[in-house]
Structure 1
Amino acid sequence: MQPMEIDDPRQVVLQVGSVLKKLRKDKGLSLEELAQVSGVSKLTLGNIERGDTNPTIGMLWKISKSLSVPLMALFSDQSGVQVSRAGEGLRIAGDGDTWLIEPIFQQSSQDVEICRAYLQPNSSYYPEMHHPHTTEIATVMSGMIEINVNDETYTLNAYDSISFRADDAHSYTNPSDELAVLHLILKYN
């Protein structure tokens, strides 16, 4: 599969649909079966596969989790040398515009995903539960973040890092008036 042409948002939607359809068929699942295990409706899954809708990050997490594939597997399965520049390339918004991630490398053949994340000032993000036994490592690159894991809050400033099980309940809060930038690593075990 070829790398996505990021300059055209429509191409990204079509690529995700094509990859999703291939992954679903490779797993031997019908749209109805995937809908049952993912919690995403059959109609919505069909629309995603046809490229008729732009799925939210929450939907994509549910789908990737139910297919037992890394999130980035829904975007590309390319390999080789890549350069990732901040602010360029694929950007995926969370539910709303407060959380934005940029996949740094879109290689689904790896058991690791690396992303830049941006959390708007005075806002919070509550991600979907990740795959079982996934480890999340977050490093604050600028600003500050409060990360809540299993009802315990950890405050991280620039260059501080935290590691935790990503299938535990967690959230990110930026209590400051400045944009917070993080590097996230998801390690699938």
Structure 2
Amino acid sequence: MTRTSPPDVGRKIKHIRNEKKLTLEQLATKSSVSKSMLSQIERGRTNPTLAILWSLTQSLDMDIADLLDSDRADDGGGGHKIDHVKAHQTPEIQSADGRCTLKILGPVDLVTQTEWYDMMMTPGGLLDSDGHAEGTREHLTVIEGTLTVRNGQEEIRLETGDTARYDADIPHYIENKSQKQARALMVVLAP
């Protein structure tokens, strides 16, 4: 079986909410997700962020992986399938300064081990991170522009095509000191 779209999360949330006999307003209050946002999600008019999905699944007493995996039917042929996520359905997060956007490319069920992102950073952008779990490493490959990476006392400038691999269990940052937008792929490997 070939899947051509991601799970219908909104339909599933509505179904579970109805099973638990919760109104939109009750789930909104319980999850701290606005009633209008919840309505849009259930009607498939917007795609929730990972943070919103987390809040909703915690409020519904379920694992986020169950919500995302429940549409996967047995294909009867050994489990071979293709998961297809449309570009507009890829969740994004932004840095505190709003100048760095990270598209979350990795599946949610691997988030504790491996994360990967398509990163876009405007001039002057800064992605400042506290140290992650001990032993965590980041791998950053610049696709377009230039970026500066610093961890501890070491700082390095990366140009298009360059890759930096560095310890990410200490405070570190990525900065665009240039006058042009930069794009990179970032992979975070946890121990």
Give secondary structure in 2 for the equivalent of 1:140: strand
Judge conservation of contact 2:99–2:124 (CA < 8 Å) in 1: no
Give secondary structure in 2 for the equivalent of 1:116: strand
Q: Which moved more, 1:118-127 or 1:177-186?
A: 118-127
- Note the 1:5-154 alignment, pairs <5 A: 8-9=46-47, 11-12=48-49, 14-20=52-58, 78=69, 81-83=82-84, 89-109=90-110, 111-154=113-156
What is the CA–CA distance in structure 1 between the aligned matches of 2:160 and 2:89, rounded to whole Å? 22
Give secondary structure in 2 for the equivalent of 1:122: coil
What is the CA–CA distance in structure 1 between the aligned matches of 2:125 and 2:55, rounded to whole Å? 30
What is the CA–CA distance in structure 2 between the aligned matches of 1:183 and 1:123, rounded to whole Å? 16
What is the CA–CA distance in structure 2 between the aligned matches of 1:22 and 1:181, rounded to whole Å? 37
Give secondary structure in 1 for the equivalent of 2:143: strand
Cα deviation for residue 89 of structure 1 reads 1.9
Judge conservation of contact 2:138–2:168 (CA < 8 Å) in 1: yes
Number of equivalences: 140
Cα deviation for residue 169 of structure 1 reads 1.7
Which AA in structure 2 matches 1:17? S
Matched, 1:169 2:171: yes
Cα deviation for residue 81 of structure 1 reads 3.4
Give secondary structure in 2 for the equivalent of 1:126: strand
TM-score by length of 1: 0.61
What is the CA–CA distance in structure 2 between the aligned matches of 1:3 and 1:138, rounded to whole Å? 32
Q: What runs of 5+ residues in structure 1 fail to find an aligned partner?
A: 27-72
Percent identity, aligned pairs only, is 14
What is the CA–CA distance in structure 2 between the aligned matches of 1:20 and 1:117, rounded to whole Å? 28
CA distance change for structure 1 residues 132 and 21 in 2, over 3 Å: closer, same or farther?
A: farther
CA distance change for structure 1 residues 20 and 128 in 2, over 3 Å: closer, same or farther?
A: farther
What is the CA–CA distance in structure 1 between the aligned matches of 2:156 and 2:162, rounded to whole Å? 10
Q: Which residue pairs with 2:40 in the alignment?
A: none
Judge conservation of contact 1:77–1:109 (CA < 8 Å) in 2: no
Larger of the two Rg values belongs to structure:
2
Q: Which residue pairs with 1:158 in the alignment?
A: 160
CA distance change for structure 1 residues 167 and 121 in 2, over 3 Å: closer, same or farther?
A: same
Judge conservation of contact 1:77–1:106 (CA < 8 Å) in 2: no
Displaced runs of 4+ in structure 1, greater than 6 A?
A: none
Q: What runs of 5+ residues in structure 2 fail to find an aligned partner?
A: 1-5, 11-43, 73-80
Q: Which residue pairs with 2:16 in the alignment?
A: none
What is the CA–CA distance in structure 1 between the aligned matches of 2:46 and 2:94, rounded to whole Å? 16
TM-score by length of 2: 0.60
What is the CA–CA distance in structure 2 between the aligned matches of 1:3 and 1:114, rounded to whole Å? 23
Which AA in structure 2 matches 1:153? E
Judge conservation of contact 2:148–2:157 (CA < 8 Å) in 1: yes
Judge conservation of contact 1:102–1:116 (CA < 8 Å) in 2: yes
What is the CA–CA distance in structure 1 between the aligned matches of 2:153 and 2:45, rounded to whole Å? 40
Which AA in structure 2 matches 1:127? S
Which of the numbers 174, 178, 181 marks the counterpart of 2:180? 178
What is the CA–CA distance in structure 2 between the aligned matches of 1:143 and 1:87, rounded to whole Å? 24
CA distance change for structure 1 residues 8 and 156 in 2, over 3 Å: closer, same or farther?
A: same
